[in-house]
Amino acid sequence: MFENFVGSLPGAVYLGLLYALMALGVYITFRILDFPDLTVDGSFTTGAATAAVMISHGVSPWLASLTAILAGMLAGACTGLLHTKGKINGLLSGILMMIALYSINLRILGMPNVSIMGENTVLGVFPPIPFMIVVVLIFKFALDAFMKTDLGLSLRATGDNKRMIRSFGANTDNTTILGISLSNGLVALSGALIAQQSSFADATSGIGMIVIGLASVIIGEALFGAKTVFRATLAVVLGSIVYRIVISLALQIKGFETSDLKLITAIIVIIALVFPTVRSALKQRGAAKKRSAELLKSLETTPGGER
């Protein structure tokens, strides 16, 4: 089992890097905007479908990947408009857009799936893992830099306290739409790269992506912390890689099969969610015991407390 796990490790790291872009997108809505965006399941497939169809028609994979980003941003903007201008609940806005995108993605593909086997892709030009490390770091540092700008600070403030930022004259509707658009642009890029890595795009490839993204964010924050934006985005990237490594390890255990992947994902997310609570409770219990011991010691040393 150990030998099989070691052999699958490079592949797990590679997949973790491919999905890290999607996890960064989920981080923007889930943590920064505090917006439960389920558009992710649809926009991931939109990016994959857009890139695959364009590449299959002879378009440059670089241009196809860029177009996938724009398609994802458009999907995110529609969700943002439904929520801000249509006054529809955020969760429901994402669900409605996710449902609509299923039909739109089928229209883009023209069939349930499109193969790009043998076509040129951006992943075939350079060594895969070093290339993806560079790509992920570029987007990570770009996101860090953006969050330090006035617009980025407005975006963070919108997620923290909409009412307060409105009192300063900021348009929270525009920042919300922008944040959701950026998020789904990154998700769609991840979908486009996954399609090029697997050599096909499928209409159902985005199902469960929001759970994978949340797992990466939660695992990363639990293991590496998120006190600053720089540290948080790094934690998300590392969390995506750790998640894939854990999945790879779990699949090596006897009794687990590939069909159990969703169950394994759910278990990992539950553990990641419960872990910070348990750790906090243990710290509080330890601090309480320490205070009790100090109090008893102080009573013993006082004249009235001498035995």
Q: Could you report how far apart the first and last alpha carbons of the chain are, in Å?
A: 61
Give Rg (Cα) of the chain: 23
Contact residues for 9 (Cβ-Cβ < 8 A; gap 6+): 245, 248
> 33 pLDDT exceeds 50?
yes
- pTM (two decimals): 0.87
d(CA 166, CA 92): 24
Asked whether the beta carbons of 1 and 250 are under 8 A apart, the reply is no
Answer with the residue of higher pLDDT: 236 or 224.
236
- What share of the chain has pLDDT > 70, as a percent? 95
d(CA 15, CA 9): 10
φ, ψ at 76 (rounded to 5°): -65, -40
**How far is CA 201 from each of CA 67, 132, 197, rounded to the nearest angstrom?**
15, 19, 10
d(CA 192, CA 156): 27
Q: Give pLDDT tens digits for 173-189.
A: 899 999 999 999 999 99
Ramachandran area for residue 58 (φ above 0: left; ψ -120 to 50: alpha; else beta): left
> 95 pLDDT exceeds 60?
yes
Q: Which two tokens stand for residue 169?
A: 């004259």
φ, ψ at 115 (rounded to 5°): -95, 140
> 125 pLDDT exceeds 70?
yes
Q: Give pLDDT tens digits for 80-94.
A: 999 999 999 989 999
Q: Which two tokens stand for residue 87?
A: 């006054």
Q: How confident is the model over 155-169, as a mean pLDDT?
A: 79
For residue 113, the cross-strand partners are 202
Task: Supply the DSSP symbol for 204.
Answer: T
Q: Give pLDDT tens digits for 237-262.
A: 999 999 998 888 877 777 777 777 77
pLDDT tier at 307, thresholds 50, 70, 90: very low
- What share of the chain has pLDDT > 90, as a percent? 54
Asked whether the beta carbons of 248 and 5 are under 8 A apart, the reply is yes
Give the HSE-up count for residue 58: Cα atoms under 13 Å, Cβ half-sphere.
0
